[in-house]
Amino acid sequence: MSKEIMDENHLPDWVIERIIARRGRQHAFTTIEPAKSALIVIDLQNSFLLPGQPAEVPTARAILPNVNRLAAAMRQAGGRVVWIKQVQDAETALSRSVWLNNFADPTWATRMEQSLTPGNVGHELHADLKVEKADIVLPKRRFSAFIQGSSSLDQVLRSAGIDTVIVVGTVTNVCCEATARDAMMLNYKVHVVSDATAARSSGEHTSSLASLAVNFADIRSTDEMIELLASAQA
């Protein structure tokens, strides 16, 4: 499995053609209001990043510099940065029992629960991430950060007047995609950054971005997203 960074912005040709046929342009959003925007960083915790951890996604280590660049650009532009941390605890053992009992081997599920329990090294954000005091850190208990019972993200964003989210992190086709889909259904403007998200394979990554691009989110590279934020300041 390649440990290189995920493709920057390589949507299949058929996806771009379908998008343009539907709305006349590739990008859904041509401008952004930074003061009404938040960078949502999904699950960049040691459990997904450190070698040997139960949910290790090797490709995710390569996106950390881009995530830091985006966080710095968002702060500079006057937007918010929100770090989302997956939690496994007694509550999730009950509320996600169907998934745990049917989609996860018991031994692996136990390792995941231990790793993502607060206080465990796996639960902590990776040391290479540049988190600042003014940033927001929230726990989530579902794949999507927006679905009921998962986190307080929706309430936090709405109270701050946020109507636009930029989703980055891991895993592209699981928690990032679930969060982006639910955000759009809650009427947020949604961006997903192709080279600041990571999956376990390029196939899963590209397929997820393709699905999101048609109906749920605008897909841009890190450089494109930073340029959009910079143009808003100008």
- Band (pLDDT 50/70/90 cuts) for residue 2 is very low
Question: 91 vs 50, 121, 213, CA distance in Å?
Answer: 25, 20, 33
Rounded to an integer, the average pLDDT of 34-49 is: 98
Can you give the pLDDT at residue 9? 55
The residue behind tokens 């895993």 is 171
Does residue 234 carry a pLDDT above 80? Answer: no
- Summarised one tens digit per residue, pLDDT across range 90-122 is 777 777 777 777 887 888 878 888 889 999 999
Provide mean pLDDT across the span 9-19: 85
Cβ contacts of residue 201 below 8 Å, gap of 6+?
A: 1
List the single range of 4-8, 46-50, 129-133, 184-188 with lowest mean pLDDT: 4-8
Average pLDDT over residues 165-186: 98
**Cα–Cα nearest to 129, from 191, 179, 196, 79:** 196
pTM, whole model, 2 decimals?
Answer: 0.92
Longest Cα–Cα distance of the chain, Å, equals: 53
Q: What pLDDT score was predicted for residue 107? A: 83
Whether the pLDDT of residue 83 is over 60: the answer is yes
Query: Residue 165: is its pLDDT beyond 80?
Result: yes
- Asked whether the beta carbons of 18 and 11 are under 8 A apart, the reply is no
Domains (range + CATH), the chain: 13-233 (3.40.50.850)
* Positive or negative torsion for Cα 75, 228, 45, 186: positive
Asked whether residue 4 carries a pLDDT value surpassing 50, the answer given is no
Strand partners, 193: 220
